[in-house]
Amino acid sequence: MKIIAHQLKNSQVAEIVTNDTIIQNIEDSLDLLGNLYYQQYDQIIIQKHQITDDFFDLKNGIAGEILQKYSNYRIKLAIVGDFSSFASKSLKDFIFESNRSGQIIFVSSTEEALSNFSR
């Protein structure tokens, strides 16, 4: 796993670069959060393929728990990918509400994530 650091005003953004799935469960998410928080990052960009597909099945609660952890630490998370293939109305609503609140955002590119974070 490689971390590309981006500086936005007074904010440090960690962009995670890897072809691996790094978040398989809530504990993996907490490990990533703690590691990057310790390194002074307050915003994180990951790719959709770096998160288990279970995250996108809202019935199991993984997405909600991860959202809560990032909210508690006031760390913003951008998930980059194409989400148009998801048919679940509840997932589409979750993505819409998440994007509206800004704590966890779902975007189509790293540039879009950085633009959202710089607001």
Q: What is the mean pLDDT of the chain?
A: 95
pLDDT at position 119: 85
In which band, very low, low, confident or very high, does the pLDDT at 114 lie, cut at 50, 70 and 90? very high
- Give the residue from 95, 108, 105, 14 showing the smallest Cα distance to 119: 105
- Give the residue from 92, 1, 100, 91 showing the smallest Cα distance to 44: 1
> Measured in whole angstroms, how far is the alpha carbon of residue 65 from the centre of its chain?
12
- 22 has pLDDT over 90: yes
- Helix/strand/coil for 108: coil
Tokens read off for 106? 């779902």
- Residue-wise pLDDT tens digits, 29-60: 999 999 999 999 999 999 999 999 999 999 99
- 10 has pLDDT over 90: no
Residue whose entry in the numeric block shows the structure tokens 């994007």: 99
Q: Please list, in sequence order, all residues whose beta carbon lies within 8 angstroms of the beta carbon of residue 77, skipping any fewer than 6 positions away.
A: 43, 44, 45, 46, 66, 70, 103, 104, 105
Tokens read off for 99? 């994007």
Residue whose entry in the numeric block shows the structure tokens 């928080």: 37
- Residue-wise pLDDT tens digits, 65-95: 998 999 999 999 999 999 999 889 999 999 9
